[in-house]
């Protein structure tokens, strides 16, 4: 099917295979396609870890040349430092567990990059996310407000990335395109190989969004000062050791705590952080570990891409990436907050993490754990 009026779409070419195929498919469908690499981070501070941005630009440019589209490098480093790295470091410094990938999508890809694309005359931004977009059911939205769109999970259950898009708005979703959301990963790689793309067999990135394959602890050590304190057993207050800083730990963490198991080979797990005395709270792993499993949580900073739910209702939620959707009762409390009651207890829900809200495969929005 030919594209109406040669819509101009810019594709965020990351140098990986997913965005490469996204650009290829749009070109084949007849759109006016341009590729752009977002230069967000170049490891100026020489943090330990691999930050292959230079090779990514080379690969993205080679893909654009192979497809036959124009290519640009867009410098968004200052915005990225302020909106993503700043959010990340501030969150950890305050004892939270932020999600930089979700914030990168909202603030950078569909934020400042989308604004730049509009200024350049593009009507949409395409990415290599495994997610889908389709027209919302009739009757949603205000009369005269235009079409509303639904955000759906990607067709490949092993690669679905809708969770990372859970904080984008309806306005951002209108301008988003997800050309590969209907594909399985093996199908996508086959398309890339058949087209002779240099990224066809390139390994998927596993690092922090645009920062690269650097361990989070190494990244935090470079920017957040250590603030040592006691490691305390939550059940009886006994001090078991010392930690280097609460920002190195998250609720539910089993490994790297720095204290051995007991003589019965019971392992400790992080169950909380206490600001008053900068204590890391631990307990033996198990259903009785205090604070580890919860049925109720409160979320705030709710962001919807559908009309907000203003009455109590039953929805589904994804408590973190790669978790299955689970049933929950959603009880709005006003001011962008809500009480969540899970139908089954959930493990290790850390403040600052994101709860994605669903009706089946449709993602409605998300909130942040308090």
**Of these residues, 11, 104, 136, 364, which one is catalytic?**
104
- Does residue 117 sit in the same domain as residue 70? yes
Q: Output the pLDDT for position 138.
A: 80
Domain membership flag for residue 244: yes
The pTM assigned to this predicted structure is: 0.90
C-alpha distances out from residue 65 to 58, 86, 166, 257, 264, Å: 11, 35, 33, 48, 61
Given 247, 262, 284, which residue is the final one in a domain?
Answer: 284
Are both 342 and 307 inside the same structural domain? yes
Q: Within a domain: residue 137?
A: no
Nearest 10 degrees: CA dihedral of 125, 126, 127, 133?
110
Of 259, 284, 309, which closes a domain? 284
Query: Within this chain, do residues 247 and 346 fall inside the same structural domain, yes or no?
Result: no
Q: How confident is the model at residue 1 (pLDDT cuts 50, 70, 90)?
A: very low
Q: What is the pLDDT of residues 67-118, one digit of tens each?
A: 999 999 999 999 999 999 999 999 998 889 999 999 999 999 999 999 999 9
With H, G, I as helix, E, B as strand and everything else as coil, classify residue 305: coil
Top pLDDT among 30 and 287 is at 30
How many CA atoms are closer than 13 Å to the CA of 115, on its beta-carbon side? 7
- Whether 104 sits among the annotated catalytic residues: the reply is yes
Query: Residue 249's domain spans which residues?
Result: 225-284
Mean pLDDT of all residues in 152-179: 97
Give mean pLDDT, residues 7-22: 97
Verify that 300 and 241 share a domain, yes or no: no
CATH number at residue 277: 2.30.30.280
Q: From the DSSP assignment, how many helices (H) and strands (E) are in the chain?
A: 9, 17
56 & 122 share domain: yes
Give the model confidence (pLDDT) of 351-362 as tens digits.
Answer: 999 999 999 999
Q: What are the pLDDT digits (tens) for 270-280?
A: 999 998 999 99
Please report whether residue 146 resides in a domain: no
For residue 141, is it within any domain? no
Identify the residue whose tokens are 């990607």. 154
Higher pLDDT, 53 or 33: 33
Q: Of 108, 192, 209, 349, which is the active-site residue? A: 209
3-state secondary structure of 222: helix
Over residues 310-366, the pLDDT tens digits come to 999 999 999 999 999 999 999 999 999 999 999 999 999 999 999 999 999 999 999
* Average pLDDT of every residue of the chain: 91
Q: How many CB atoms lie within 10 A of CB 123?
A: 16
Asked if 209 is an active-site residue, the reply is: yes
């Amino acid at each position: 099917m030919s594209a109406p009026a040669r819509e101009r779409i810019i594709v965020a070419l990351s140098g990986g295979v997913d965005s490469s195929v996204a650009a290829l498919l749009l070109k084949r469908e007849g759109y006016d396609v341009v590729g752009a690499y977002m230069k967000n981070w170049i490891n100026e501070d020489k943090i330990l870890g691999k930050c292959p941005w230079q090779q990514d630009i080379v690969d993205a440019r080679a893909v654009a040349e192979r497809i036959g589209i124009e290519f640009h490098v867009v410098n968004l480093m200052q915005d990225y430092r302020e909106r993503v790295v700043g959010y990340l470091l501030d969150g950890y410094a305050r004892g939270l567990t932020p999600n930089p990938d979700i914030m990168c999508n909202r603030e950078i890809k569909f934020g400042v990059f989308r604004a730049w694309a509009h200024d350049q005359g593009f009507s949409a931004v395409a990415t290599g996310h495994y997610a889908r977009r389709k027209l919302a059911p009739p009757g949603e939205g205000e009369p005269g407000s235009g079409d509303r769109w639904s955000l759906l999970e990607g067709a490949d259950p092993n690669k679905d990335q809708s969770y990372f898009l859970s904080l984008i708005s309806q306005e951002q979703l209108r301008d988003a395109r997800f050309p590969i959301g209907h594909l399985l990963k093996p199908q996508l790689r086959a398309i890339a190989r058949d087209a002779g793309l240099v990224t066809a067999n390139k390994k998927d990135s596993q690092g922090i969004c645009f920062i690269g394959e650097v361990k989070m602890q190494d990244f935090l050590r470079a920017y957040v000062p250590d603030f040592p304190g006691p490691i305390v057993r939550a059940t009886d207050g006994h001090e078991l050791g010392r930690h280097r800083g609460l920002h190195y730990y998250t609720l539910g963490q089993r490994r790297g705590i720095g204290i051995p198991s007991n003589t019965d080979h019971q392992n400790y797990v992080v169950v909380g952080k206490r600001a008053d005395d900068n204590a890391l709270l631990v307990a033996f792993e198990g259903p009785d570990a205090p604070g580890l499993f919860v049925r109720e949580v409160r979320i705030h900073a709710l962001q919807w891409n559908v009309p907000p739910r203003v009455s109590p209702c039953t929805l589904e939620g994804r408590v973190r990436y790669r978790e299955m959707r689970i049933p929950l009762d959603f009880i709005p409390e006003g001011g962008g907050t809500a009480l969540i009651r899970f139908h089954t207890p959930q493990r290790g829900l850390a403040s600052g993490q994101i709860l994605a809200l669903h009706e089946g495969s449709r993602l409605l929005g998300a909130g942040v754990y308090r």
